[in-house]
Amino acid sequence: MHTLEIKNLRVKIEGKLVLDDVSLSINKGEVVVIMGPNGSGKSTLASTIMGHPLYEVESGSIFYEGRDITHSKPEERASLGIFMSFQAPPEVAGVDFYPFLFEAYKSLCIARKIEPDDVFTFKQRLDEQSAKLQADGDWSKRYLNNGFSGGEKKKSEMLQLALLNPDFAIFDEIDSGLDVDALNIVGRAIKEFSDSGKSALVVTHYQRILKFIKASQVIVLVNGKIAVEGGPELANQLEDQGFNNINR
């Protein structure tokens, strides 16, 4: 049984077709990389797997560990163990960051029928993980993602990854906008996640993040369709030749 199986997915947004007949499967412990030029549908694919209400699945299906989640709500998918690191995490002024983290943690524990830790234990783990991510400044005083720089937002996502303990993670352009140091930190976090035997889908525009993970497949999307698939060496090819030359 695959961890994630997508069969012939067709997705529309406001009546316009954005994903056309996309199929892929990810097994336990595998990391699949999705690449492609801007507008190719990579982020759409990520958001659709997570269940964004704006994306209508016209036909096809998404199965997670044998379960049809094609029309499930995002919170249901999260409770099954799916996590998505957002490309542009929204800011929510008025909601404090740490209480939000704890609330999310508790909700997911309850949904998975696990006893949540008390707030002190959780806070300890939070502090440990923030230190590892080298969070700048005191996040405890901030509203959710509010006033976070681009790099900090990505770290905030990684912090949540560490604390919410999902089984399958989607990384939507986690590497965009990061400087070398931040990239190293984020890359290590993803590696740690992958090394623990969990599966991941990495959506990226660049090749840089790939040095932190062992990609089992590389899939290239162009205009909402799969243009070419291959092993990790495909990524090198793309780096050299660009996306235009791989149209089949």
Partner 1 sequence: MAEIIVQAKTEQLTISNGETVFIFDNLAENKVAKLKLDIGQDCRVKYLFLSAGESLVEAERDITIGPRTVFESYQAYLGTTNRLMNFHNHINEQVNINQRAIFFLKDKQSLRVNDIHTFLQPKSSGTFRAEGLLDDAAQIEYYSQVNIKPEAQLTDCRIDLKLNLLGKEARGLMQPSLFIAANQVQAGHGASTFNLDQDQLFYFNARGVTEIQAKMLAVKAASDRFIKAIDHKLGQKTIRDIIDNIL
- Near partner 1 in 26-65, by CB under 8 A: 47, 50-54
Residues 6+ apart with CB under 8 A from 99: none
**Binding residue for partner 1, selected from 28, 61, 70, 104, defined by CB under 8 A:** 104
Residue 20 or 51 having the CB closest to partner 1: 51
**Binding residue for partner 1, selected from 1, 17, 92, 114, defined by CB under 8 A:** 92
**Binding residue for partner 1, selected from 164, 208, 230, 246, defined by CB under 8 A:** 164
Residue 80 or 228 having the CB closest to partner 1: 80
**Binding residue for partner 1, selected from 27, 61, 70, 107, defined by CB under 8 A:** 107
**Binding residue for partner 1, selected from 29, 37, 74, 151, defined by CB under 8 A:** 74
- Minimal distance, residue 16 CB to partner 1, in Å: 17
Which residue ranges make up the site for partner 1 (CB under 8 A)? Answer: 47, 50-54, 73-75, 77-79, 83-84, 86, 89-90, 92, 94-96, 99-100, 103-104, 107-108, 111, 143, 160, 164
